[in-house]
């Protein structure tokens, strides 16, 4: 599998957009999701661990799942995540984690997955009964957020109503959206949502 982030990983945390997004999403997560000291968490598309850094102090363990080895290497090198976060280089659509988790978090990874329906099914199977989702991504946009020729981007954001309906069709309830951040890029503004939902 090609690592599309291999050339970006080393300087990812120094980029302004990931920093702005992770700060907003991290703050929204702590505000809208109840975290407990015994909680087992999966961070889907964990990247360099920017969201893990917000959540790790409040939970028992995070499985940091990504298909980019280069990004996970950056995550594994962060001292504040040692002993709390386990990097897992894997496509969970092909092989689920052995352990059920209480919470799945994700920031800006959904648009990199072609089949959203399959991913939500996988999330439902990975969660323990009553488990929670907290997913952040772009609101529906005109395709200008990413360069036109970029590889591995399958969605120009998501319509909240359509995504909410898809979640409910895949066994989730109490679906709620808040705007977690707004980023400016090339003179345009792009809102980032955080959705929360509970497995039925």
List pLDDT tens digits, range 84-143.
999 999 999 999 999 999 999 999 999 999 999 999 999 999 999 999 999 999 999 998
C-alpha dihedral over 62, 65, 128, 113, to 10 degrees?
140
Query: Per the CATH hierarchy, to which homologous superfamily does domain 9-199 belong?
Result: Vaccinia Virus protein VP39 (3.40.50.150)
Token representation of residue 148: 């036109």
pTM over 0.85: yes
* Helix (H), strand (E) counts: the chain: 5, 7
Contacts of 147 (CB under 8 A, 6+ apart): none
Domain locations in the chain as residue ranges: 9-199
The separation between the first and the last C-alpha atoms of the chain, rounded to the nearest angstrom, is: 34
Q: Give the chain's residues under pLDDT 70.
A: 1-14, 16
What is the C-alpha separation between 20 and 23, in angstroms, rounded?
A: 5
């Amino acid at each position: 599998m090609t690592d599309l982030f291999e050339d970006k990983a080393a300087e990812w945390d120094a980029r302004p957009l990931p920093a702005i997004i992770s700060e907003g999403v991290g703050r929204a997560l702590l505000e809208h999701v109840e975290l407990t000291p015994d909680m087992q968490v999966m961070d889907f598309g964990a990247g360099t661990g920017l969201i893990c850094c917000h959540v790790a102090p409040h939970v028992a363990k995070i499985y940091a799942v990504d298909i980019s080895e280069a990004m996970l290497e950056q995550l594994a090198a962060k001292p504040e995540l040692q002993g709390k976060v386990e990097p897992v280089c894997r496509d969970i659509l092909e092989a689920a984690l052995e352990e059920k988790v209480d919470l799945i978090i994700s920031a800006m990874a959904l648009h990199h997955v072609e089949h959203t329906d399959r991913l939500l099914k996988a999330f439902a199977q990975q969660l323990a009964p009553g488990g929670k989702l907290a997913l952040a991504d772009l609101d529906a946009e005109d395709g200008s957020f990413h360069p036109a020729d970029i590889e591995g981007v399958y969605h120009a954001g998501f319509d909240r109503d359509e995504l909410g309906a898809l979640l409910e069709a895949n066994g989730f309830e109490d679906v709620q959206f808040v705007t977690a951040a707004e980023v400016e890029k090339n003179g345009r503004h792009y809102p980032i949502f955080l959705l929360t939902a509970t497995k039925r």
